[in-house]
Amino acid sequence: MTPADLSLTVLHAVRRAVGEGALRAPARMPERVKVERPRPGGCGDWATNAALQLAREAGMEPLGVARVLRPRIAEADGIEHVEITGPGFLNITLADRGSGALVREVLDRRERYGHGDCLEGRSFHLRHPGDVRATVMAAAVRGLLAAQGAVVHDEGEPLTLRPVPVTYDVHALGTDAAQWALLRPAAHDRPLAPEGLLTQSEANGLFTVRYAHARAAALLRNAAQFDIAPAYEEDVDAPRLLAALGDHPAALEAAARHRAPDRVARHLEATADAFLAFQHTVLPFGDEKPSAAHRSRLALAEAAGTVLAGGLALLGISAPDYL
């Protein structure tokens, strides 16, 4: 369940409470409520300040609104339980749908996994100074917005992008390294220095992400020699990698909402690191016989490669199978 899904779930709970007379109807029902990861000291998978947002118009204390919304949110599909913390924050724990469902969703949706509709119906007009970095960033932001259902054209909500410009000939790096140099840092930070962007080392985030994708492709090729096909038949002990894949939709949504391609790049680095720590367990070793465990690990490896390829594509960067 993505933050956009949760936002709709909370809004549905608000409408139910209003319809049942438990809450006074607000003058204007919000289009969405903020859903984010719990702050330090919080609990659950996600948190929302919806009760604080609605308290004044409801004529109630935030805690009172939270108590009204809590059972109605908890009844929704995919929710395990809801807790109230602080002045009225609702902390939501999702039901564990199992790693198999996650891996199958990635493999079903392929590179479109993580794309959503949280910005459907919104129209944006991007404005920028026209320098090299601003032009590249505008193209990436356009793709991120479109991946969340928005439309970008000459009319719409104006969005102005003013990233710190690049001061060297970034084109000399080649397309992929140039894109990474311009998009990996946040817009208010300087582009990456050219030194190291073409090196094959762990210090080079671009190399690490593309290498991880290439390793996933290599595992699939090597598995075919053992007549092993990917199939998620049993749970795999890879919590870091599964968490990274599960967080991918939220990372893409946040990147679109904040017009921040750097969030995608950072998430890809985390995913690549988790995969590279896991990859050595995928294929049979020594006298091991191929088993359901190997087929399941291979499916997870394929899912990781799929997420890496999809994220790189949104940044305008290629994901070669050989590196």
Q: Quote the pLDDT of residue 169.
A: 96
Residue whose structure tokens are 């990781």: 304
For the whole model, what pTM was predicted?
Answer: 0.81
What does the block give as tokens for 215? 């390793």
pLDDT digits (tens, 9 = 90+) for 242-256: 989 999 998 999 999
97 pLDDT tier (thresholds 50, 70, 90): low
What stretch(es) of the chain map to CATH 1.10.730.10?
A: 205-314
* The pLDDT of residue 146 is above 90: yes
* The pLDDT of residue 291 is above 90: yes
CATH assignment, 205-314: 1.10.730.10
What stretch(es) of the chain map to CATH 3.30.1360.70?
A: 3-94
| Percent of the chain surpassing pLDDT 90 | 78
Q: Quote the pLDDT of residue 67.
A: 96
CATH assignment, 3-94: 3.30.1360.70
266 pLDDT tier (thresholds 50, 70, 90): very high
